[in-house]
Amino acid sequence: MNRDQNAPLREDVRLLGEELGAVLREQAGEKLFDTVETIRQAAVESRSQGEMPVKRLRQLLDPLDDETLLEVARAFSQFLNLANIAEQRHRERLHRHHQRYPGDPDTDRGLRQVLAELKKAGVGDDKVKSVLEDLSVELVLTAHPTEVTRRTLIRKYDRIADLLTDLDRPDLTEEEEQDLRRHLREQIVSAWSTDEIRRERPTPVDEAKWGFATIEQSLWQAVPRGMREIEAELALAGLEPLPADWVPIRFASWMGGDRDGNPNVTAAVTRQVLLLARWMAADLYLRDVENLLADLSMHRASDELLERTGPSHEPYRLVLREVRERLRITRARMEARVAARPEPEGEGYTSGRQLFDELSLIDRSLRAVGLSAVADGQLKDTLRRLNCFGITLLRLDIRQESTRHIDTLDAITRYLDLGGYADWDEAQKQQFLLTELESRRPLVDEAFYHSDLCDEDVREVLDTCKVIAEQGPEGLGAYVISMARTSSDVLAVKLLQKIAGVHHPMRVVPLFETLDDLNNAGDTMRALLDIPLYKQRVSGGQEVMIGYSDSAKDAGFLGAAWAQFRTQEKLTAIFREHGIPLTLFHGRGGSISRGGAPTRMALLSQPPGSVAGRIRVTEQGEMIRVKYGRPSLAAYNLEQYVAATLEATLMPPAEPRPEWRAEMDRLTEVSVDGYRQVVRDDPALVAYLRTVTPETELSRLSLGSRPARRKPGGGVETLRAIPWVFAWTQIRLMLPAWLGTGAALESALASDEETEILRAMDEQWPFFQGAVDMLEMVLAKTDTRVASWYEERLTDEGELIRLGDTLREHLADTVAALHRLTGHDSLLDNNPVMRWSIRVRDPYTDPLHLLQAELMARLRERDTDPVLESALMVTIAGIAAGMRNTG
């Protein structure tokens, strides 16, 4: 392959830019095209000269009327989306190169390299196979509001990516190439003619359907494809084959189950989402069975199968027709339940085991009569899908805040004249909860539900538990308690499930989020394990969730990262001591300040022993589309998770040296203090956020079903982590990702001894390496001059200008400190693809930033204006596309 692996990317960007230009001429006219091209050239020239194009761009933009401003914003936004398609397509190209040339140092590290390293390290095949057999990777799809692109446009963008793939073929004739270019132009015209902005806020059910669509359009193909690739790598390494239906990957979801601070997620919504998921699963398996019916026409069959069918020339089809009918009944029943209609007669499937047994019978027969090659085809893919997705498509988690459980139990104890549960100390709460968990009598009667104490919020908690009771265990995952702080928070959920009559209780997962909660997590879990009843109930395993978003908002990136690391160390040691398997659930987002990182970096950055063959991770917002939106990319990313989990389990990083721990303690003390001095203590911070960034305008964009704030009004503490990150990203300041870290690095680098320690950490400790690499990436996307544009246009208040100057000074100092630490002359010296990606986008994001500031100013003067609002929403979406992550 050509040494310049990125030449095809540049060619794709050029091609898409040319086609978009032609579409602008055709659809919007020569005048708009000339305007857009003049603005683009001004931005390119200014950037190439190292100057900011503010004055020149303003001269070009000021005379334009509102309608033209909207079209200009759409043009620049559209190009950035097309550039993203080219990059996504290039990632697929590089992944293919990685498969063909796994020894190339420029390729990613995949399963083949991990298996070779394990063999080199003397890890036996039996040990590798044992870990692989029990390997568990569960990816939890969440609808956090960071996907700004409409689904209808995503489909068009996927088609454009397919056409770029077709244009890559080396054997194209001139006629074929022209035909593909014509189809490419059609898709770009279609995208240009489609409204970019979601006009209505999605409901939780809409979000769940979006998740189902990701499974239907990509993951349904990606899972068996990825498993075949993994299987091939294991065979190449000389490992004995694993069971034919082995799948170490599962999917869960928060869409329709995450009610933390979202009043739109109700018990009725959760019930509907569970039914729709089962409907979709039945529909997808029906498609598989139809294909199997077409293929399995053979007559040779085992005695076991013929006992079921009797003599037949097509015994497999006889069984599959029965399977098809039961799937049709299952689908019809789910549809009837959603619509509250009478259910049809007949026997459907109520568990995945029932369907699995039917298909396994066919599989055994095919293998018994020498037709293994047939069994290893579509049937094997379906069995793997069944092991991955089950009969319920995915497992739905429930998430609720701990205070809602406290309020519910408080209402119950007051109804029973036992006093106020909320007023009791921890010991009293535990005593009550443990007594009631062991009691056989019901705690409340039906009259409670009609009492004044059972208000709307209390009823909602109890109704949610009733929905859990209605469902079988296959469709439900974890009950996650946000803001978990005490042992009683966990016991409370166990009791609430008992009250509702849940026969197969959901596992209860405390989520530790803030800095204090992370630091106290070990004590909380140790106290739980000291309770014999609790320890006995979790003897098979405990799951604990580590929150990245709120901890970083509370303490800054570096302080949160070190707290998360230490918490995992403590939890791993505690559960090892008690002999109970621990699964750590990582609540990561797409941005660095919310735990975003490449898969291998993220897993190898964890404390040694904390992965242990089991990992659970959230995949959020736009990252679902980026990583799993196309089957080839999804298959690659699934393999990456399997490879990284195997590596982190069998070749974990070494324990950090004592001097490294001491250095991290010093760094985080300075970092947290520096971060909080601004975020908590500077009275201008909230005003700056709401004046200079589009934080208040984000509520106009119909991103997701959740409100942007946990509570109306208030300061930063009431703002959700995602809009907090999103707002700073829009003005290129990226404050949550670096604030405080620069001061910490500066302080350490002032000492020769500490400098030497830091450089050793950067060279030898994956945790610190990952933090530095991600910091370097995010700093490369910052631009202090862009942030100053917003200030210049949106405020003349002295305190806000003073704070802006301070933040830009802190940012410059952070960049300088990072240069000193890494020795790099410029950011991303070690990542030329990312550096080029940012540089090629700047001429398109610059006009959008300037437009956004102008539109914000005009809208704040006029309050409402449909055209300006649309233009502002386009700039928000366009900048998000240009930055490649939002929150």
User: In this structure, is the dihedral angle defined by the CA atoms of residues 405, 411, 416 and 422, taken in order, positive or negative?
Assistant: positive
- Give the length of the chain: 887
Greatest C-alpha distance within the chain: 90
- Locus of tokens 């693809």: 833
CA distance 600 to 615: 12
| SS3 of residue 440 by DSSP | coil
What separation in angstroms does the CA of 778 have from each of 766, 810, 812?
A: 18, 15, 13
Catalytic residue selected from 144, 498, 586, 810: 144
| Locus of tokens 């704070």 | 803
Q: What CA–CA distances, in Å, run from 239 to 122, 233, 384, 460, 560?
A: 14, 9, 20, 52, 40
The two beta strands, 249-253 and 507-512, are: unpaired
What is the enclosing helix (H) or strand (E) of 275?
helix 267-295
Helices (H), 339-401: 352-368, 372-374, 380-389
Return all residues near 367 (Cβ < 8 A) that are at least 6 apart.
375
What CA–CA distance (Å, rounded) separates 208 from 201? 14
SS3 646: helix
Residue 510 backbone dihedrals phi, psi, to 5 degrees: -70, 140
3-state SS class at 303 = helix
Indicate the SS3 state at residue 223.
helix
Q: Who contacts 488 (Cβ-Cβ below 8 Å, separation ≥6)?
A: 426, 429, 430, 433
CA-CA distance, 474 to 723, in Å (whole number)? 34
144 is catalytic: yes
Burial label for 445, CB within 10 Å (0-12, 13-18, 19+), is: exposed
Q: Which helix (H) or strand (E) holds 561?
A: helix 557-578
Phi-psi region at 122: left, alpha or beta (left = phi > 0; alpha = psi -120 to 50)? left
Cα–Cα dist 512/554, whole Å: 12
Q: Which two tokens stand for residue 65?
A: 């009327």
Q: Measure Cα distances from 511 to 483, 489, 546, 619, 783 in Å.
A: 6, 10, 6, 16, 35
- Enumerate residues 6+ apart whose C-beta is below 8 A from 20: 75, 78, 79, 82, 188, 192
Q: Sort 371 into a burial class: Cβ within 10 Å, 0-12 / 13-18 / 19+.
A: middle
Q: How far is CA 682 from CA 676, 678, 742, in A?
A: 9, 5, 18
- Tell me if 847 sits within 8 A of 39, measured CB to CB: yes
From 90, 553, 627, 849, the catalytic residue: 553
Task: Please list the alpha-helical segments (H only) found in 595-630.
Answer: 599-604, 622-628
Strand partners, 510: 481
Q: Is 285 left (phi over 0), alpha (psi -120 to 50) or beta?
A: alpha
- Side-chain-side CA neighbours of 213 within 13 Å: the count stands at 15
* Catalytic residue flag (residue 429): no
Q: Just list the catalytic residues.
A: 144, 553
